[in-house]
Amino acid sequence: MITLYGTPRSRALRVSWLLEELGIDWTFSFINFSKGDNRSDSFLALNPSGKIPVISDDDLVLTESAAICQYLAEKYGEGRFLPSAGTTNAGHYHQWVSFIICELEQPLWTMGKHKFALPDEQRQPCILPVAEWEFDKAAALAEAMMPNTPYLLGDELSVADILLAHTLMWATVFEQTLPPKLTAFRDRLQIRPALAKALAKTEAIAAQGTP
Long-range residue pairs from 65-70, CB within 8 A, at least 24 positions apart, any chain = 65/11, 65/12, 65/14, 65/15, 65/163, 66/14, 66/97, 66/101, 66/159, 66/163, 68/14, 68/15, 69/14, 69/15, 69/18, 69/159, 69/162, 69/163, 70/97, 70/159
**Structural domain boundaries of the chain?**
2-80+194-208, 88-156+158-191
2-80+194-208 against 88-156+158-191: fold identical: no
- Per-residue pLDDT for the chain (211 aa), expressed as one digit of tens each? 999 999 999 999 999 999 999 999 999 999 999 999 999 999 999 999 999 999 999 999 999 999 999 999 999 999 999 999 999 999 999 999 999 999 999 999 999 999 999 999 999 999 999 999 999 999 999 999 999 999 999 999 999 999 999 999 999 999 999 999 999 999 999 999 999 999 999 999 999 976 5
Long-range residue pairs from 37-43, CB within 8 A, at least 24 positions apart, any chain = 43/5
Of 93, 98, 104, 99, nearest to 158 (Cα)? Answer: 93
Contact 17, 194 (CB under 8 A): yes
Helices (H) and strands (E) in the chain, counts: 9, 4
How would you write 129-149 as a 3-class SS string?
Answer: HHHHHHHHHHHHHHHHHCCCC
State pTM to two decimals. 0.96
- In CATH, 2-80+194-208 is 3.40.30.10: yes
Domain boundaries 88-156+158-191, CATH class: mainly alpha
